[in-house]
Structure 1
Amino acid sequence: MPRDDPITEEERRANSATDLIRMRLERLQQNIEKPAPIPTKKETLRAPKAPLEFVRNVVGSSAAAGSAEFHIYRNNRRKEQNRLDYIDAVAKKEELDEAYRQKVNKLEEEEQLKTAKKRAKRLRQKAAAKKRKMAKKEKDSDDSSSDDSDDSNSDSDSDDDSEKERIYYIVSSLAFGPFILSYLYYRDWLTPVGMMTILKYAGYLTIIGYGARTFGRFFDETNARFLEVWENESNKKDDNNHAALKKYDFELLNVTPDFEARSNTDLWHLQPEVTEVGAFTRGLASWAIHAFGRHLIYPGSMGVLKYMMRPNLNAARKLLVQNKNGQRVWIKTSEGDVLDAMFLRGTANLSQNLVLCFEGNAGFYEIGVMNSPAQLGYTTLGFNLPGFGESTGLPYAKNTLAAADAVMQYAIQVLGYPPEKIVLFGWSIGGFPVAWLAANYPNVKAVVLDATFDDLLPLALFRMPTFFSSIVEFAVRNHMNLQIDKLLARYKGPIRLIRRLQEEILTTAVDDQPENIRRATNRINWLLKSIIRDRHPELIRNLEPQVDRWLDMSPTERLMHSGVSLREESQQRKRLFDACSHYLIDFDANHVTPLDPQFFNIPEGRDSF
């Protein structure tokens, strides 16, 4: 779709009429010495009126020159001359237009030819680089220094190729599934005796595979150096061995963490509502959460997704360490999980504040929301939830909150940032640990929530079968009680909500419904009303439908309703709209689009409107 000019896009980001006027004045002051030429009116060719088809000839003496018939004849001669001049002008304009079109077509052909040549050159260079890399890899697969010297583009290309090969391998394997089953059925191997035979051969193949891998690692120099560093770090426990161990990518099992969080019994937890259900419903709900519910809520912890994402995550983590001087840290939670985290120090003027980043249900810090504030120069600390990436454990509610508290303790005790200098930034389901931390650390500097929701239960009920609703409600309330609105009710500090206009995940409307209906069912709308209801009950009293009206407005319509009115009801509505503009901004993107860094702003506190 066509994009608006930069000035229009900049004015759309205005939170109020005052910001819009300020933007326009600043734009005028930047070019205050530049003359403003007044454009001239464009000349247009207008067809003259045609002369009469029959004109009486006027002849006679000069005394008849002043007669009416003579003037009629002269006017018609002038019209005929104007018509001839118009025909000449049109012909000249058509010649110029044709010459312009030919010139434009010629330039386009030249540009397309240049682009094709450059594309072919890049493809040849990429193929040659890939060929050289494959040849080098075949000669010496154990040379680790050559891997460090490769640039980021070749790394990303090889990662993409490996991912494509992996996907092709999985798809091709599944494609032959029916033929394999038919063959097994024809050979009578699907019987109990046949299944035992299959399991026996599968066991043999597993033993052979693991044995071959062990044999290969035993004679691999890189693996030998890794084992040596591992043993030295396990025995001596000094900083040099610990830093050397972080140069390797491996599963964080039995590693020495950089920081171990302590259990804090003073933390507040939201208690679920007590509901009387039978033992069957209780058992079925518990089974559903552990069997498939957790995987639906946190798909990033699934082994298949982690296996497919591992090459990209390793490459992105490598770039964070090498190109951005990132510091990789391992944090152990009070639940025993080890978190893989990354600390990026910002520029000098923005390093006094720390942005603590929380990913979504399929997000990883290597390629996640930490990139937006880091691009602006903020000091950031991101981590993977338990079960995500290289972090150990599983992302249950208590494990997630323990991970959030562990990272908060690390930021305060090790990095030296007090809560007053920490900004909590969460995306999607990451708003849950952010809201919980804000409830327990109410003096944090600010809270920024991008594409989040008020409560998980409405979203779960919308996507699950109706007959399963009672079990879903009990399972969510007792195992995954993610009520962000109730958690934020205990936090009164600065907060900013970012709503995605093309949201497709956090809505309770089907895809074929109009855009305004899907936008109206975005669960962040309920979170906004909950915040205003808790903080400014006098504004929203009897005017809650006006919040829905404001949410449905375009930026221009919102500016039109920001004027001064003398009526008391209109003044209350204007104050309500100002509160909505203060707490929520719109971002024209879908749920998974990375946040534009220009939309990340640390909000300021405001008590009245």
Structure 2
Amino acid sequence: MASWLWLRCVVGPHLQRIHRPPDQSRPEGRSGRRGWNYHPRSLEKHTDSILGWVILWSLSYYSSPLLLCYLYRKGWFWLGRWRNSEYVEFISVLEETKKNHTPGNKKKLRCYDFDFSYWPSDFSWKEVSSPKLSKGGVSLLKPEPRLRGTADSILNSVRTLPCHDLMLYHCVHLFFLCSYLIAHSFGRRMLYPGSVGLLQKAMRPMLQQGQAKLIEEFNGQRNKLVACDGNEIDTMFVDQRKDGGPNGQTLVICCEGNAGFYEVGCMNTPLEGGYSVLGWNHPGFGGSTGVPFPQNEANAMDVVIQFAIHKLGFQLNDIIIYAWSIGGFTATWATMSYPEIQSVVLDASFDDLLPLALKVMPESWKPLVQHTVRQYMNLNNAEQLLKFQGPILLIRRTRDEIITTAGPEDIMSNRGNNLLLKLLQFRYPKIMTEEGVRVVRQWLGAPSPVEEASVYSGYEVDDDWCVSVLQSYQADRDVSFPWSVGEDMTPEGRRQLALFLARKYMRNFESTHCTPLPAAEFHSPWRL
């Protein structure tokens, strides 16, 4: 037994923190509300320091650095663990949970923060038959649209390429190769900087602190989900169905930004509003494995929704999808794939990645950027959102410096405007004629809340009349969007309805892109 315990301590995972359960008294000498950081004893701590120097010293030898680094990362030199009662207790709980995956054992294991790769799986896509998965076990994304412009002509030239023209042939192949290399090297890291290991290492203390808060103050439950592509998705669930008031019966699934983690991301906004909340990390972020390409993102979103339904006990019409920034892609994919979802809230999101990618790349690279985005990183949020029939709320940051193409001082270059216009033009095409688009753009261009209200009142919008017109249309027809309401209406009436709908679908938040959204600004979308 002693030899088994010693071996498990040697090869076991790194332990970072111990979360004290709410019903457990604080150990003598410990400070803090509930949990405490794990402190290795002298032998374990000094072994760590000595090994760091040994590895540096061994760089002059031909193979020892690689070997020592591997052994060090695997924890095979942590000789003092078996004498540390806290670590011994942890490793015993971990082994017992692996053997017997009971709720009681999982509850004990959740009291520890350790290397997530050792965490047993809590849910797998294989446990349910998802209608969103293909026979091969990969969730389906919509086929990519044909490329347009210069890049399209280059690609089309391949079909008619003369065999003797080897130079052009090699140029086309070089074009494709460059596109692939850009996407899989700096392109992916620019798009999702949170997947870069150095950034995660720098943020580790902040992430550990945020995770401790969710677990120790909100009784959060950490779970590992296995997606259909084999990626392991790190999630956090806070259940407020008992004490969260009326909002606790609604689950908010949070989709983070490109450098966001559930530990310090947008989960706090709906939590403060009393909602039950499920957060998850992108593939390659935090404890999640994989790489955050669109297909992997969709696979992760799919298993998160399946987990919410089949393990947490929520119905689709109890779920709000809340996304910030680039999280709008997985949010709109979810609403497109699960149309029964209650509603979606998109904060500081955009309609399409391509204009934003072109903004930061040289003009001469335009054909290459077009092909790379459409082929490997096609975050076509607007196209996916238009397939959702339910309530939608867009939140626009008025000083957004990230999703504007001409700088934060030009509010009309905010791609959230394009998302709103595309949504209104699809749902209400007879209202959003040339006149309707013009007045909505005028409202969007107002530089302050006072001027925005001035535009609205200047057209004498009668909110009660607008509601009655829409309700009358809805009562007489049981149809899905797009609606034909407004086709027999005066230009004045269409202008009123256009402004009324714009203000219902979009709310302004006076801030920059990365400012956390206050709970008071988080609302359920408007329903007719």
- TM-score normalised by the shorter chain: which range applies? 0.7 to 0.9
Match of 2:98 among 223, 234, 250: 234
User: CA offsets per residue over residues 7-59 of structure 1, 9 Å max, x none?
Assistant: xxxxxxxxxxxxxxxxxxxxxxxxxxxxxxxxxxxxxxxxxxxxxxxxxxxxx
Counterpart CA distance in 2 for 1:574 and 1:444 is 30
Deviation at 1:200, TM superposition (A): 6.4
After TM superposition, the structure 1 = structure 2 runs for residues 550-589 of structure 1, keeping only pairs within 5 Å, are 550-553=443-446, 554-563=451-460, 568-589=490-511
From the superposition, tell whether residues 453 and 153 of structure 1 become closer, same or farther in structure 2 (CA, over 3 Å): farther
Match of 1:508 among 373, 385, 405: 405
Aligned partners of 1:268 and 1:440 also within 8 Å: no
Deviation at 1:146, TM superposition (A): 5.8
Q: Secondary structure at the match of 1:448?
A: strand
Aligned partners of 1:142 and 1:221 also within 8 Å: no
- Residue type of the alignment partner of 1:322: E
The residue that corresponds to 1:23 in the other structure is: none
Counterpart CA distance in 2 for 1:148 and 1:586 is 49
- Choose 443-452 or 324-333, whichever is displaced more: 324-333
Overall identity of the aligned pairs, in % = 33
Match of 2:122 among 237, 258, 262: 258
Deviation at 1:409, TM superposition (A): 0.6
After TM superposition, the structure 1 = structure 2 runs for residues 174-189 of structure 1, keeping only pairs within 5 Å, are none
The residue that corresponds to 1:245 in the other structure is: 109
Match of 2:392 among 495, 505, 524: 495
Aligned partners of 1:339 and 1:383 also within 8 Å: yes
Counterpart CA distance in 2 for 1:406 and 1:148 is 42
User: CA offsets per residue over residues 367-407 of structure 1, 9 Å max, x none?
Assistant: 11111111011111111111111122221111111111111
The residue that corresponds to 1:431 in the other structure is: 328
The residue that corresponds to 2:78 in the other structure is: 214
Deviation at 1:467, TM superposition (A): 2.0
The residue that corresponds to 1:529 in the other structure is: 421
The residue that corresponds to 2:189 in the other structure is: 295
For structure 2, list consecutive stretches of 5 or more residues without a partner in the other structure: 1-16, 21-25, 39-57, 156-171, 466-488
Aligned partners of 1:142 and 1:220 also within 8 Å: no
From the superposition, tell whether residues 147 and 311 of structure 1 become closer, same or farther in structure 2 (CA, over 3 Å): farther
The residue that corresponds to 1:5 in the other structure is: none
TM-score between the two structures when normalised by the length of structure 1? 0.64
User: CA offsets per residue over residues 270-324 of structure 1, 9 Å max, x none?
Assistant: 2112445322222211111111111111111110111111122112211211111
The residue that corresponds to 2:522 in the other structure is: 600
- Choose 143-152 or 263-272, whichever is displaced more: 143-152
Counterpart CA distance in 1 for 2:34 and 2:515 is 22
- Residue type of the alignment partner of 1:539: I
User: CA offsets per residue over residues 575-603 of structure 1, 9 Å max, x none?
Assistant: 11111101101000111100011111101
Match of 2:239 among 345, 350, 354: 345
The residue that corresponds to 2:382 in the other structure is: 485
Deviation at 1:155, TM superposition (A): 8.1
The residue that corresponds to 2:439 in the other structure is: 546
Work out which of the two has the higher radius of gyration on C-alpha atoms and give 1 or 2: 1
From the superposition, tell whether residues 212 and 334 of structure 1 become closer, same or farther in structure 2 (CA, over 3 Å): closer
User: CA offsets per residue over residues 231-266 of structure 1, 9 Å max, x none?
Assistant: 222233333333322222222225322111246436
Aligned partners of 1:330 and 1:338 also within 8 Å: yes
Aligned partners of 2:19 and 2:111 also within 8 Å: no
Aligned partners of 1:252 and 1:338 also within 8 Å: no
In the alignment of these two chains, the number of paired residues is 424
Q: Secondary structure at the match of 1:505?
A: coil
Deviation at 1:202, TM superposition (A): 5.1
The residue that corresponds to 2:281 in the other structure is: 384
- Residue type of the alignment partner of 1:377: G
Aligned partners of 1:252 and 1:392 also within 8 Å: no
RMSD: 3.1
The residue that corresponds to 1:404 in the other structure is: 301
From the superposition, tell whether residues 312 and 155 of structure 1 become closer, same or farther in structure 2 (CA, over 3 Å): farther
Match of 1:458 among 345, 355, 370: 355
The residue that corresponds to 1:135 in the other structure is: none
The residue that corresponds to 2:31 in the other structure is: 150
- Residue type of the alignment partner of 1:356: I
Q: Secondary structure at the match of 2:257?
A: coil
For structure 1, list consecutive stretches of 5 or more residues without a partner in the other structure: 1-140, 159-194
The residue that corresponds to 2:483 in the other structure is: none
From the superposition, tell whether residues 381 and 568 of structure 1 become closer, same or farther in structure 2 (CA, over 3 Å): same
Query: Which has more helix, going by share of residues?
Result: 1
- Residue type of the alignment partner of 1:594: P
Q: Secondary structure at the match of 2:263?
A: helix
